[in-house]
Chains A and B, each alone.
Chain A
Amino acid sequence: MKPSTPLRQRMLGEFAITLPSMIWLCIYFVLPTLIIFAIAFRSKGAYGGIGDTWTLNTLAELRNPDYPAIIWRTIWMSVICTLATLAISVPVAYHIARVSQWKRDILLLLTIIPFWTNLLIRIFAWRLVLHPQGMLRNLLISLHLIDPSTVFLGNPIAVLVVMIYTELPFAILPIYAAAEKFDFTLFEAAMDLGAGRLYAFFHVFLPGIREGLMSACLMIFIPLIGSYVIPDLVGGKDSQMIGNVIVRLALEQRNLPAAAAMSTVMFLIMSLPLLYYLKYTTAQHAKEVAK
């Protein structure tokens, strides 16, 4: 008698189902990533290509005095943008989860509709909004709300605003999914036991949608680390991020090994939260199995 047979069959079945996507990921994700890792250790070709010897010199090339500041800026801008996006998304998702079904559908639709417009077009729209001769700036100046010397475009604030705007749906949707499953009786229970609304929000609601918050964090933090279009189009010299450096290395300086090395650095920064998430979810899973 093999009591483990059903389990083994099930695992085999799961494996079979996962196989095609695994192959896909290997060909189009794992393999290219490894190639980029490898290129980082190749020498530079004379005319912008990849040389045919192995070298560690590329790493030395990364010792550009500007880079630490750019890497640091990439991290803090991504972190601030992630936090700000979450701070906006949580109340929005909470609201969507609490309204009636038809209002909910409308609000979700409004969240998703901007997706249907190309990212570049939306960014150019923001350029118009933030433009020195744009309506927003003129309006605020005429209302004496801002100093006429204020510039909107070409600084980190502009980059942050547009990044938050682009990432909002990616945060609202997973948080909404978690909030929708949240049992709002718990809210009443907290109030019943003497909690105020704010206390209940922070001590009952937020822990209740923790999974949604985690996945929202990942969904937005990782693309943010790699963003280059937004800093390129609405940012200035002082708002360059790693993505812009990589583009410059690869396309302007034609230094593919250096670009690959920079990409590796970015990959390592990104994998930190991923590793944490992986550790967190496996710990959760282990706990559930232990039950």
Chain B
Amino acid sequence: MEEFLKFDGVTKQFGHLKAVDDVTLTINRGEIFSILGPSGCGKTTLLRMLAGFEAPDTGRILLAGEDITDQAPNVRKINTVFQTYALFPHMTVRENIAFGLKLRKLPKATIDQEVDKMLAMIQMEAHADKKPAQLSGGQKQRSAIARALVLKPSVLLLDEPLAALDLKLRQRMSLELSLIHDEVGITFVYVTHDQNEAMSISDHIAVMQNGKIEQVGTPAEIYEAPKSSFVAAFIGDTNFFDGTITCVLDSEYCEVEVPDLSKKLICFNDKKLVQGDSVHLSIRPEKFSISLDRPAENPRQNVLPAKVEDIVYQGDHTRYWVSIAEDWRVAVTRQHNRFLLDQRRITWGDQVFISWQADDSFMLEQYREKDEDLLQMPPQNVGEEVPGAAVTAPEPSDTSVAPADGQATGQEEASQQ
């Protein structure tokens, strides 16, 4: 992959607020690159600077080696799909798509031909002569994409393109976007607050927080090896454990003492920490196994007794909320890859065991006081409650009732101790 688009030490300040704080970022040619973060993290400002609507205070933006920092938006070979689509209401779909081509003073026959091609690609031939007000959300979305793509930009910017659509349409459009990307093969820069969207369509994701890039990586890297507790919490669900290393077992593993837990935990020590260091562990709900019987002893496995507090059945999996200490609940996910009707099922109030491999916990940077805010920060999806113990950026498909709020902050309190 070739370096194509580059932010080089870009900073943008609005009053006292540093919307974008010294961002350096490289985007490859032809990939779908997502900028992911909660609202107000600076991702939209970054995109607007790329489009040319804002000028960075310091730093440069390079496109294929050329410095475009001071180029006006109408000169850049970059086009934008706006969050609200911004289709011209007084023009038909066809006129909207032709808008940019007309400005290039192309012959009418060429324009018609290009517009027809686009209409065919987005399957909107039947609606070509409608005004935007007569279109559905998905049709507006597709028209906006066609209007930008018809100019054959080097980079297509998409600003929360699916945010205004309902769930089913969002899933379909996200698939359609991937197909369109495969067809045109240009670089997409995709801004979103929805981790699922970002995970499902991106080649690379940059997670942003407070104007800074927290981590850049493939979706799998970001999910499996988050660099900070913010990333761990924002991407998917996770449980945090805080403790102190009491013993380094060998080069790879260590024992961690966690206050309130009856047992020391054994963890993979990828940060090569030493005895006495405090650590912040993240364990994803699906890494836990849950069982009624105590699992067989294994030196590389942690087992904790727990009590089932809540069960959320989701068809393909079940989410359990189990307490492992006073006021400390963790989320455990169990896939239903095998379902036996006569098996005694785990139910409310059961005493169970949760177990996980030492390799399944992930060490994060030391837990800091200020993280408390972002751990409690509700993800951006509306209508979703944040289940307590695990910090959850909920899946939009989550239709179940989240556990009661009253118990919500249990784990964070515990992890502070």
Residues in A lying within 8 Å of B, measured CB to CB: 183, 185-186, 188-196, 199, 204, 207-208, 210, 291
Contact = CB atoms under 8 A, between A and B. Distances in A.
Return the 5 tightest CB-CB contacts between A and B, nearest first: A193-B100, A189-B86, A207-B90, A185-B86, A194-B103
Interface stretch (B72-80, B174-182, B216-224, B374-382): B72-80
A196 B53 contact: no
Contact of B74 (A183, A185, A192, A208): A192
B253 interface: no
B273 interface: no
A291 B133 CA distance: 9
Main SS at interface, chain B: loop
B136 to A, nearest CB: 12
A194 B104 contact: yes
Nearest to A193: B100
B80 A194 contact: no
20 contacts: A186-B89, A188-B86, A189-B82, A189-B86, A189-B88, A191-B52, A191-B73, A192-B80, A193-B151, A194-B74, A194-B75, A194-B100, A194-B151, A195-B99, A195-B103, A204-B88, A207-B88, A207-B90, A291-B133, A291-B134
A193 B134 contact: no
A245 B87 CA distance: 51
Contacts of B73: 188, 191-192
Interface string B50-76: 011100000000000000000011110
Given A186-B88, A188-B73, A207-B90, A193 B99 contact: yes
A287 to B, nearest CB: 9
A35 B95 CA distance: 51
Contacts of B329: none
Contacts of A188: 51, 53, 73, 80, 82, 86
A193 B79 contact: yes
B137 to A, nearest CB: 15
Interface string B23-57: 00000000000000000000000000001110000
B84 interface: yes
Given A189-B86, A207-B90, 16 more contacts: A183-B84, A188-B73, A188-B80, A189-B82, A189-B88, A192-B51, A192-B52, A192-B73, A192-B78, A193-B99, A193-B147, A193-B151, A194-B74, A194-B104, A291-B133, A291-B134
B82 A208 contact: no
B110 to A, nearest CB: 15
B103 A199 contact: yes
A183 B84 CA distance: 10
Contacts of A204: 88
A210 B80 contact: no
Contacts of B103: 193-195, 199
B89 A208 contact: yes
Given A188-B82, A192-B51, A192-B79, A210 B134 contact: no
B68 to A, nearest CB: 14
Contacts of A207: 88, 90
Contacts of A208: 89-90
A190 B75 CA distance: 12
Contact of A196 (B74, B87, B148): B74
* Interface-centre pick from A189, A190, A210 (highest chain B CB count, 10 A): A189
A192 B158 CA distance: 13
Contacts of A192: 51-52, 73-74, 78-80, 148
Nearest to A291: B134
B92 to A, nearest CB: 13
B389 to A, nearest CB: 41
Interface string B124-150: 000000000110000000000001100
Nearest to B84: A185
* Interface-centre pick from A190, A192, A195 (highest chain B CB count, 10 A): A192
Contacts of A194: 74-75, 100, 103-104, 151
Contacts of A185: 82, 84, 86
Contacts of B133: 291
A180 to B, nearest CB: 16
Interface in B268-319: none
A204 B151 CA distance: 19
Contacts of B86: 183, 185-186, 188-189
* Interface-centre pick from B51, B86, B87, B100 (highest chain A CB count, 10 A): B86
A208 B75 CA distance: 24
Contacts of A189: 80, 82, 86-88
Contacts of B87: 189
B74 A210 contact: no
Interface in B146-181: 147-148, 151
Interface string B79-109: 1101010111110000000011001100000
